[in-house]
Each structure stands twice: as C-alpha cells, then as structure tokens.
Chain A
Amino acid sequence: DAKTTQPNSMESNEEEPVHLPCNHSTISGTDYIHWYRQLPSQGPEYVIHGLTSNVNNRMASLAIAEDRKSSTLILHRATLRDAAVYYCTTTYNFNKFYFGSGTKLNVKP
C-alpha cells in the first residue's frame, strides 16, 4: 500500500472551490485511490475513489495525475458542513486502508 502525503491543514471561504492535494508516489498500478472525510466524533465517511480516470460524484471530483503519483480532491463549492479532516489513501483489493494524518479543512463563512 502506498504511503500518502497531504498538507496538515487548508482553509477555504464558503461557496468557493477547494482543491485538496495528495501525493502517493509509491502507488502500484492496481491500487485504487480513495478519499474519506471525518467530522468530529464521527467515523470516516466515503467521498470518492478512482483508478486512473478523473471521477465525479455528487459530493466531489477526483482528479488523478497521468502518472498516478498524485491526486486532487475538488469540492466545487465548499460549505460549512465540509469542514472536516480529509484522508487520501490507496488500496488494491481489500477493505484495508492505511490512513495518513489527513488534511484538516477549515471553511470560513
């Protein structure tokens, strides 16, 4: 499983886009890239995942670099409810994730 590196914290204004970067330079060709977020006193919540192509869902978009060594989670319009710790992780074929320290996102009104 690839080690992931994320900035410790980021700040955004409400209703503006947020780009959360993640470096996973040791990722193998078959590893999926997952993003989860965790609000205080709650378990992590699935955000999005992908393998090679960019992915979109109702919550966010995932942009994956061509060499797959990095990815960016994009929240198109941040709301106060998006304030959380965001984790980027990779996994091959198992419900097994190694989480780094994540990025704490602060959203300012």
Chain B
Amino acid sequence: KAGVTQTPRYLIKTRGQQVTLSCSPISGHRSVSWYQQTPGQGLQFLFEYFSETQRNKGNFPGRFSGRQFSNSRSEMNVSTLELGDSALYLCASSDGPGGNTEAFFGQGTRLTVV
C-alpha cells in the first residue's frame, strides 16, 4: 500500500506570490489534516478535512486555505506569501474520523519564501 504522498517536495517562492501544495492520502483514507512545522513554533495544526468537509481549523490567518476532493486528495493554498511562511508543510491521513485510529504522515513539502 502506498504511503501518503506530498508534492512537490521542495518549493521556492517569492514574497507576495501564492502556492498550492498537494497531498494524496493512503488509499481508502477519508481524513486528511495539514500541519506547519517551523523551528520556532514546532508542529502546528492547520486544518482537517473528512469526506470533503473541513471539520477543524487551527489558528492561522485566512491566507491559508485548503480543500479536499471526492477522491480524498487534498490541496492547501497559501496566498500572499510572507517570509514567515517558510516551513515544512506536512499532511496526515487516517482511515476513520480520528481519535482511535493512527495517522500516517507524508514526507512533507519544504517551502522557502524569499
């Protein structure tokens, strides 16, 4: 069974641009969540989708958005990039609503904003 796949692995963008990151969950998994990891703030929850519906959202500005498609693949978008958005963005999938199921993380997308 293939693991969680995130594309691209590395990305360099300029301040003010926007970026879209993609996450393909493990086949059959309907829940996808996104995290931002930086040296200063650690791992921070962004949002979670289940069956195309956003169920939870972390404390991030509206520039951060996401969506989930009918095949459970998910994308997150960051508009008007700032230098502070440079981070490792991770997604995780699970086969149930969560809680009593394990989450599987991808390798992440390393975003650098210059």
Q: Is B56 an interface residue (CB 8 A)?
A: yes
Instruction: Give Cα distance in the complex from A100 to B4, angstroms.
Output: 23
Instruction: Give Cα distance in the complex from A50 to B30, angstroms.
Output: 22
Listed residue (B43, B44, B48, B102) with the most chain A CB atoms within 10 angstroms of its CB: B43
Secondary structure dominating the interface of B: strand
Chain A 35-63 interface 0/1 with B at a Cβ cutoff of 8 Å (1 = within): 01000001111100101000000000000
Listed residue (A45, A46, A51) with the most chain B CB atoms within 10 angstroms of its CB: A46
Task: Report how many A-B pairs have Cβ atoms within 8 Å.
Answer: 77
Which chain A residues lie closer than 8 Å to B35 at the CB level? 97, 99
Which chain B residues lie closer than 8 Å to A51 at the CB level? 100
Q: How many residues of B contact A (CB 8 A)?
A: 29
Q: Is B93 an interface residue (CB 8 A)?
A: yes
Given known pairs A43-B90, A44-B43, A49-B102, the reply for A95 and B31 (CB within 8 Å) is: yes
Which chain A residues lie closer than 8 Å to B55 at the CB level? 94, 96
What are 15 pairs between A and B in contact, CB < 8 Å? A36-B105, A42-B107, A43-B92, A43-B105, A49-B100, A92-B98, A93-B98, A94-B31, A94-B33, A94-B48, A95-B32, A96-B33, A96-B55, A97-B92, A99-B45
Q: What residues of chain B have their CB less than 8 Å away from a CB belonging to chain A?
A: 4, 31-33, 35, 42-45, 48, 50, 55-56, 90, 92-94, 97-108
